[in-house]
Amino acid sequence: MPAVDTYTSLLLVSVEGRPMPAGASSLLVTGRVTDAANLPDSFELEFADTAGTVLTDAGFAIGKAVLLTVSENGPQGPQRLLDGEVTAIDREDVAGALRTRVRGFDRSHRLSRGRRVAAYLDKTVADIVQEVARRANVRVKQIQVPDTSVVDHVTQDNVSDWVFLKRLADASGCTFSVLEDGLVFAPRTMANEAPAGAESARDDPVVIEHGMNTLWLTSTVTAASQVPDVEVRGWDPKQKQAVIAKAKPETRSVDLATLKPATVASAFGSPAYVSALGDGLQRAQESQAKAVADRIAGGFAEVEARILGNSQMHSGTAVSLKGYGAPFDGRYTVTEAMHEFAAEAGYTTTVTVSNASDRSLFGLASGGASAGGAGGAAAGAARMPGVVSALVSDIDDPENSGRVKLTFPYLSDDYVSGWARTVQPGAGPKRGAVIVPEVGDEVLVAFEGGRFDRPYVIGGLYNGKDEPATPWAESVKDGKVVKRSFTSRTGMEVVFTEESGTETLTLSTTDRKQRVTLTQSGEKGIEIISEGPVTVTAKADATVKADQGKLALSGSSIEIKATGELSIEGASLALKGKGKTEIEGATLALKGQATAELSASGITTVKGSVVKIN
């Protein structure tokens, strides 16, 4: 039997500030209070309620406030275990024995109801926690976050406020809880804060000692999943290079004098653990690497123990393990403490140390709420597999890199994403297409690593409201695409037509009033149509040539000018004017290589200061 001094303990229950009547208290068979790091604290009370009067006598009902304390006939006096609310009531008939169960959570369960998509812009973690609490009508008692840096964009990606705050807490090295007097968000207790040296369980309630206060215990040291190094890799699009942060496997949840995580990892020559979900920012990835290293390393030593009832044990309590020898003796941070009250066993406490792992059925079903998992700060984020549609809300990228902001109306009425990169065909140094979507356009979006806060715009989408400039019926005929086009916002177009007998490429302005058409089939011609002047300029030679056809110039008037020599040559040359025709020059010479003839149907006049003939 344990040798530590024991005192009688009684679970005291108050409902809406009123102590439970003695009649109902006498029917209490078992009571259980669970304080876990990864879930709202919970309670369960079971009554032998043959008459079915407990609920009425004690005042239990959904939503009623319940305070659970331990009355200990010892030096410490009554201790609070949980301040919560009733969330469920059960009635059970087992072989004729009627039982009534009352179950509930602490007030943080209010934050776990429903999911939310929200963005927090240019805020510190403390600012975000304050905003979440205010929105949920939860009073704030204490917010203490070591990192006070401002983050430009943080996404709550379709998760509950509880999961979101848990993720922020894990990423910040903090814990949070909601007590009667408000929310507490503060740094978590480190294992090395537990008592060290010769302290005994007789002298300190946070010492678990063999033969003193332990009923049973399992302590494990394992090399499973342990690695010598952790790397978190990301991509920095500004520098067009990988960002790599490294960390050694160290944990704040376990402190053993004779064994470290790196020691067990080195026994098998394991490769480094690599996560490819970094944020692309060196400082952020260094924090992520430390979080991943802490989570992995924390799993190398675990403890589960049942001890004499101890109201000082809570999740986050730093405890010392003593009397079990090396390497097990050391200091640990509790991740779950379950306080049980039963008629036969009395008051016992089951303590679990498993770093940040959630071992409950809830954790298995939900994948856990922690953000400090294998993916670093993003591991607890809700995943967005595949692609989704979104609307463009902003295109004025302050970095002038073609990024856009997005809204997801089917998820939230007011959420706006951070800046999302856009896919551009053939993009590269000084080349590729530049096609930025317009505000209000529907686009197809994918997410880097499935992270909702890392969107990429793949391309635009037509819909029932936004249709292409070229009707679909004109683009597809007889199972073939006969027309492909690109149209700008103002209606300028490039159209490829590939119908049988008609293969053309047309470049046109709005309403096709000015266009250039290249015809591949038939006469394979080029047509240029302009509503205004047409100018062709060459800094060197310019040649217009018709090998087998006629070259025709027509206009209301035609003017040909040359700053140098003007030469017109042909197999034969005919100059004809329907009216008066003049040929003028400083000197004029008309020559015929064979014969020459000057004639008129009327009078012919030849003038000059001197006229010579032959």
Q: What is the CATH number of the domain that holds 44?
A: 2.30.300.10
**Residue that the structure tokens 């690695």 belong to:** 227
Please provide residue 525's backbone torsions phi and psi, each rounded to the nearest 5 degrees.
Answer: -100, 175
419 lies in the same domain as 504: no
Does 579 have pLDDT greater than 90?
A: no
Mean pLDDT confidence for 22-51: 93
Provide the pLDDT confidence category of residue 575 given band limits of 50, 70 and 90: confident
49 lies in the same domain as 13: yes
CA 446 from centre of chain: 10
Three-state secondary structure readout of 174-207? EEEEEECCEEEEEECCCHHHCCCCCCCCCCCCCE
| Residue 516 structural domain | 472-529
Q: Tell me the β-bridge partners of 255.
A: 331
By the 8 A CB rule, do 232 and 245 touch? Answer: yes
By the 8 A CB rule, do 369 and 166 touch? Answer: yes
User: What pLDDT, on the 0 to 100 scale, is given for residue 483?
Assistant: 92
Range of 112-116, 411-415, 421-425, 484-488 with top mean pLDDT: 421-425
Does 379 have pLDDT greater than 80?
A: no
Mean pLDDT confidence for 574-596: 80
By the 8 A CB rule, do 407 and 417 touch? Answer: yes
477 lies in the same domain as 450: no
Mean pLDDT confidence for 525-537: 83
Q: What is the CATH number of the domain that holds 414?
A: 2.40.50.230
Mean pLDDT confidence for 387-392: 94
19 lies in the same domain as 101: yes
Residue 610 in tokens: 């001197």
Tell which of 69, 91, 106 closes a domain.
106
Strands 42-48 and 65-72: unpaired
By the 8 A CB rule, do 82 and 35 touch? Answer: yes
Does 41 have pLDDT greater than 80?
A: yes
CA distance 129 to 123: 10
Q: Is the dihedral of CA 384, 136, 178, 31 positive or negative?
A: negative
Cα–Cα distances (Å) from 513 to 99, 109, 268, 471, 531, in that order, read 86, 66, 75, 19, 6
Please provide residue 575's backbone torsions phi and psi, each rounded to the nearest 5 degrees.
Answer: -110, 120
Question: What type of residue is 193?
Answer: E
**302 belongs to a structural domain:** no
Tell which of 488, 509, 529 closes a domain.
529
476 lies in the same domain as 456: no
CA distance 36 to 564: 95
74 lies in the same domain as 26: yes
Q: How would you classify residue 465: left for phi > 0, otherwise alpha for psi between -120 and 50, otherwise beta?
A: alpha
Does 85 have pLDDT greater than 50?
A: yes
Q: Is the bond preceding residue 187 a cis peptide, omega within 30 degrees?
A: no
Tell which of 106, 126, 146 closes a domain.
106
Residue 195 in tokens: 């008592």
398 lies in the same domain as 477: no
User: Domain tally for the chain?
Assistant: 3
342 vs 584 pLDDT, higher one: 342
Mean pLDDT confidence for 1-16: 69
Provide the pLDDT confidence category of residue 9 given band limits of 50, 70 and 90: low
**161 belongs to a structural domain:** no
**373 belongs to a structural domain:** no
Does 7 have pLDDT greater than 80?
A: no
Which among 370, 363, 187, 185 is positioned nearest to 292, based on CA atoms? 370
66 lies in the same domain as 94: yes
Q: What percentage of the chain reaches a pLDDT higher than 90?
A: 43
**479 belongs to a structural domain:** yes
Q: Kindly report the pTM of this predicted structure.
A: 0.74
User: What pLDDT, on the 0 to 100 scale, is given for residue 430?
Assistant: 92
Mean pLDDT confidence for 108-124: 90
450 lies in the same domain as 491: no
**65 belongs to a structural domain:** yes
User: What pLDDT, on the 0 to 100 scale, is given for residue 584?
Assistant: 82
Mean pLDDT confidence for 577-583: 80
Q: What is the average pLDDT score of the chain?
A: 86
Provide the pLDDT confidence category of residue 211 given band limits of 50, 70 and 90: very high
420 lies in the same domain as 448: yes
CA distance 41 to 105: 5
**509 belongs to a structural domain:** yes
**Residue that the structure tokens 């006629």 belong to:** 550
**391 belongs to a structural domain:** yes
41 lies in the same domain as 90: yes
Note the pLDDT tens digit of each residue in 463-495: 999 999 888 888 998 899 999 999 999 999 999
Residues in the chain: 614
Residue 365 in tokens: 């079903």
Which among 38, 41, 35, 60 is positioned nearest to 49, based on CA atoms? 60
**401 belongs to a structural domain:** yes
User: What pLDDT, on the 0 to 100 scale, is given for residue 362?
Assistant: 35
Residue 162: Cβ within 10 Å count: 21
User: What pLDDT, on the 0 to 100 scale, is given for residue 526?
Assistant: 81
CA distance 334 to 175: 12
